[in-house]
Amino acid sequence: MAQISGITEASTHPRSQSKSVTLRIARINPKHDNEKRFMDFTIPYERWTTVLEAILEVKKHFDHSVAVRYSCRQATCGSCGMIINGKPRLACFTKISELGTEVVTVEPMNNFPIIRDLAVRFERLFDSHHKIKPYLMRDDSEITSNEKEFLQSPEELEKYIQFANCIKCGLCNSACPTMATDSSFIGPQALAQAYRYVADSRDRGKDSRLKIIDESHGIWRCHFAGSCSQVCPKGVDPAMGIQFLRGYLLGFRS
């Protein structure tokens, strides 16, 4: 009965009024093209329509060849990073209505090699991420130790927990000005993750991690522009992590 009344109530509301937006998508195939070109599509949208949904609408109804990487559609997998109206953002986490523009321009992320259109290669990001040993390092483990788990106080957890929210979307690396000029720079994503493990009270690999990042294209190349922290969709502050890591290297933190 409740269901029926619900339906009746819903049918009395007027249908939402769709607006339309021009979605300008960058198209490039590095195998054939030297430069990006843009294709415009007029897409209807609702208040809740995300940029990713608009791109999928284009793929469904206009041009199925638009290349885009996506998966979870809820800002968890980190697949759909791209430049939206000039700023690195997750397409699934950006509503067209919030952008407030009549033209929404989407381009592939900066500082990443382009596969095609909006899809980019993540090898460099993952290589840098693996380089800083993103796991707890200690000789014993929960299995060999007499304790069933390594306990941590809320204060110890607080030191690094925000950095554990990283979804490896690459937006921070895309926004980083040093990444644009230094092709060997380790990048804010990997540095933030280095801090995440260095600050973890259960970890014993601090010295080896600090040695990895204290090299000519490591932590000291950061100019502290802070762009990485501004674009992170998960509220991670890589710039702060980098400053904390410098504190460890300069002996201000232990």
Binding residues for another protein, rule: CB under 8 A, are 178, 181-184, 214, 216-217, 220-221, 249-250
> Which helix (H) or strand (E) is 44 found in, with range?
strand 37-45
Separation CA 185–CA 161 (nearest Å): 25
Question: How far is residue 23 from each of residues 43, 50, 55, 56, 243, measured CA to CA in Å?
Answer: 7, 12, 8, 11, 39
Q: How far is the CB of 180 from another protein (least distance, A)?
A: 10
Our CB check for another protein shows the closer of 143 and 250 to be: 250
Closest to another protein by CB, 151 or 250: 250
CB 96 within 8 A of CB 106: no
For residue 114, CA distances in Å to 12, 92, 143, 217 come to 49, 20, 43, 23
- The residue (of 74 and 216) whose beta carbon lies closer to another protein is 216
Q: Which is nearer to another protein, 119 or 213 (CB)?
A: 213
Closest to 95 in 3D by CA, of 87, 84, 86: 84
Beta-sheet pairing, 81-84 with 87-90: antiparallel
In angstroms, give the least distance from the CB of 183 to another protein: 5
CB of 157 to another protein, least distance (A): 31
Rounded to a whole number of angstroms, the minimum distance from the CB of residue 252 to another protein is 12
CA–CA distance, 245 with 237 (Å, rounded to integer): 13
- Supply φ then ψ for residue 18, to 5 degrees: -75, 140
Q: Is 202 exposed, middle or buried (0-12, 13-18, 19+ CB in 10 A)?
A: middle
Minimum CB separation of residue 124 from another protein in Å reads 13
Query: Shortest gap between Cβ of 184 and another protein (angstroms)?
Result: 5
Q: Chain centroid to CA 105: how far?
A: 18
For another protein, the closer of residues 121 and 204 by Cβ is 121
**Which C-beta is closer to another protein: that of 129 or that of 246?**
246
Nearest distance from C-beta of residue 222 to another protein, angstroms? 10
Residue 188, phi then psi, degrees to nearest 5: -65, -30
- How far is the C-alpha of 71 from the C-alpha of 35, rounded, in Å? 27
Instruction: Rank residues 44 and 247 by Cβ distance to another protein and give the closer one.
Output: 247
